Structure 1
């Protein structure tokens, strides 16, 4: 009896071993067909960090060349919460909707070849970072200055395009005109649709200025205060408005020896005797007028002056003042100050 019991126990052990072996074989066989990467099984997993573009820059980034757009716009953000706040989600959608309706602002700056250039560009970049997108900053420089500025521009956090020219200039005004014309040619060639503003790197802005110029349909203008600390001089010039309609132009000198002295001329007088000099920083325009003038009521048969920034502005002013919109509505507020900074200054600590 004892020997029979022992043989039965051995048979049962072998059966259990065979069953375990068969189960392991089957499991191993089917496991071989399963995907080896857990990511492919759970592609919507919220674990880890992801690289995204900030929504605020999405609209402006579309118009920037991949090789030129600022790489600092690519940032790492933590994954969204599993149960987001419905109220905040709704607000975000409203912000995205408002951002998609905003016009692109194309800001181009002029200044080259002096020790203050990089510091002034950094200061202007800090201002432009505060402007809601979309905004594109076009920086035009002589080829010799490009390398030193490129590294700084990549760190600004502003969407930009960096253009270079090879011509040499001895006259600063001629160089500034050429820089603006290079920017206009780039805007026209790539058909960058938006509002173009010629900015000086030494300009100081009220942020309301950028909200206002987005309301421009064809051409806009505003008052500019020109400040010179060394000469203790402040001159304000710009449009005289009836609501948002431009009816004239004035220049008022607030210098200590000329308090309140001003010169006012009507738009009709300007057509008879155009001013010898126009501050192009006091104007902005819809860029589509460069490649589609008929849309805005301008003849295509007239000589092309779109690549001469000063003549282009002066031509539109004299052509039809009804195309001009004064900003803000009554032209009563100064939103931009131009600080006169000489290209060469004596620095006693050097």
Structure 2
């Protein structure tokens, strides 16, 4: 009897364990698989249909949500809000203050067979300059529309000025074109920093942010590179910090005085100025601001730059020994040669 009772108890225990394991296995099988189980299977070589997001993404989202739902109380001095408001106002004013307009003047000649190509090259540089920037291109009136077509495709804000006068001397024509541009600024009272950019100029882009800092006159050294000679000539100011104390000048023959000796020692691309000197007579001491096409505005500007010792600043202000502008001298070959 005792043996039969023990057998019955063992049988009951076996049935109980069997049913318990069956129930646990059943519910485990029908339960949905979580992310943790997905990672377990993937670690064993099983690839899920959709790859999980990177851990960094989920952590970042978690941190953002937890920070958004967490409020932190900090004790601040009573004048803190006022200081923050003043700082925010100063930042807003500095951020919203408009940048100074840069006015680029480029005279061109129909005799230059590379004119359209060099215009496109310069336009590609100017497109990289943060606005506002105005490009004034001057040429002699002609039946050709090549310059206009190039300018329309540049994406740069420009004004295209033409004139009807004829010139046999190329240098005289270039000076006349500069005066046409300056008279246009004077007539329309364009306010900005004026720079004469030759078609062969090559720029460091930081140059344009530097000339925006000019108040009255600014000057800098530039490298003149000759296409036919293996040498580089430096022209421009000699500075002590931002103070101009001298000039790199061309050598002149004192025994034979020529027309070259009467020219300004400044390269036309080695300085910039505030355009208000052209149309603000009270500030600059000019007799009249009324446009006079007979006046030689470019000579006036060059004279003011050389004589304006107190208003003339070297660029960059840390010391104007850094070269930010190169001019490649390419002789102009007439069309058809």
TM-score, with structure 1 as normaliser: 0.61
Match of 2:272 in 1: 284
| 2:326 is aligned with 1:337 | yes
The alignment status of 1:188 with 2:175, answered yes or no, reads no
Partner of 2:158: 160
Q: Distance in 1 between matches of 2:306 and 2:136?
A: 28
Q: Which moved more, 1:316-325 or 1:211-220?
A: 316-325
The secondary structure found in structure 1 opposite 2:142 is helix
Partner of residue 123 from structure 1, selected from 102, 108, 121: 121
**Secondary structure in structure 1 of the residue aligned to 2:248:** strand
Deviations 1:21-71 (A, max 9, x none): xxxxxxxxxxxxxxxxxxxxxxxxxxxxxxxxxxxxxxxxxxxxxxxxxxx
CA shift in 2, pair 1:182/1:133, >3 Å: same
Q: Distance in 1 between matches of 2:297 and 2:316?
A: 23
Counterparts in 2 of 1:149 and 1:161: CA distance versus 1, 3 Å: same
For residues 234-289 of structure 1, what are the alpha-carbon distances to aligned partners after superposition, in whole Å with 9 as ceiling and x for unaligned? Answer: 1101111121111111248xxxxxxxxx99xxxxxxxxx97654312111110111
Per the alignment, in what secondary structure is the counterpart of residue 200 of structure 1? Answer: coil
Change in Cα spacing, 1:146 to 1:179, as seen in structure 2 (3 Å) is farther
Measure the CA separation in 1 of the matches of 2:141 and 2:119: 17
C-alpha distance 276-325 of structure 1, shift in aligned 2 (>3 A): closer
Whole-angstrom distance in 2 between the partners of 1:221 and 1:276: 14
Retained in 2: the 8 A contact 1:109–1:140? yes
Residues in 2 aligned to 1:291 and 1:306: alpha-carbon distance in whole angstroms:
16
Give the direction of change, closer, same or farther, for the CA distance of 1:311–1:345 in structure 2 (3 Å limit).
Answer: closer
* Contiguous gaps of at least 5 residues in structure 2: 1-90, 253-260
Structure 1 residues 244-323: aligned runs within 5 Å: 244-251=242-249, 276-295=264-283, 297-300=284-287, 307-323=295-311
SS at match of 1:101: coil
Cα–Cα, structure 1 residues 146 and 134, in superposed 2: closer, same or farther, change >3 Å? farther
Q: Any idea what SS the aligned residue of 2:310 has?
A: helix
Q: Which whole-Å CA distance do the structure 2 matches of 1:109 and 1:132 have between them? A: 19
Partners of 1:292 and 1:336 in 2: CA distance: 30
Residue in structure 2 matched with residue 109 of structure 1 by the alignment: 106
1:130-180: CA deviations, max 9, x gaps?
Answer: 000000000100111661211111110100001100011111111110111
Which of these two proteins has the greater Rg computed from alpha carbons? 2
- Is the 1:244–1:325 Cα contact (8 Å) retained in structure 2? yes
Runs of 4+ off more than 6 Å: 94-97
Asked if the contact 2:183/2:293 (under 8 Å) is kept, the reply is no
TM-score by length of 2: 0.63
List alignment gaps of at least 5 residues for structure 1.
Answer: 1-93, 253-261, 264-272
Partners of 1:223 and 1:238 within 8 A in 2: yes
* Alignment root-mean-square deviation, CA: 3.1
Instruction: Give deviations 1:167-195, integer Å, cap 9, x for gaps.
Output: 11111111110111000011111111000
